[in-house]
Structure 1
Amino acid sequence: MAEAQYETRTRTVEETVIVLTLTEDEADALKEELILISGSEVVRRMLGALRRPAAEQPAPSADTFEHDGVTCDLNARYRDRDGDVWRFERRPDGSVRGSWYGTDIGDYHSLLSDVATECGPLTKVTP
């Protein structure tokens, strides 16, 4: 049974992607059809993706914080415009505060919203 849905994934910028879920038989049939029309670069990329599916991705972190329409993963680190790398955590009072100098984060550290406004844009640091 073929199924398609739109998903919104938030990074430092937001983009809409289309996720197409197919059974193996449907994927095989689609590959055969794409082979017949593989003249364009877009079709060749789609065919390549069907031939080499990506590994399953882990579920998104449940510990996130949204600021100004951007969702931040509190298990990740973020680089500010000056190159400082921040880590953030949710405090017992519910606020999200961060530090860039490696110490334990306390109630006196900067709010994520203030860091994003004053030092942004924040870019997620990938391993």
Structure 2
Amino acid sequence: MATAQYETRSRTVEETVVVLTLTEDEADELREIVGNADGSLALERVYRALASPAAPEADAEASTDTYEYDGVTYDLSARYRDCEGDEWTFTGQRNIVGHPCVTMYEGSDNTADTIVSIARGYGPLTEVTP
């Protein structure tokens, strides 16, 4: 018998952002230029960002990138073994819908397999511990 229900799922999405690095003098000069311009909403946001730059995030590099699929959270820095004994690692890339790509070959940039396809076809996946 078929059933249906709503679920809430978390997704990790990769996006490209532009990071502008300026000296304090360069930031002061740009702040003055942007502040005096007849501005669009985008210029107003730039001016506000320049007026109060955020402090560096503590432990930003220490945070672990994870991906949740079918109720399981995968650590993207770990290796996983499938039901046939093959070991998979994450390539650091994602497919067009955001699924993390995996490979059996260390250093390969093969993006044909994703954690979703491997978990569906060869799961359950277990984390390989050193």
Superposition TM-score tier, normalisation by shorter sequence: 0.3 to 0.5
Asked which structure has the greater CA Rg, the reply is 2
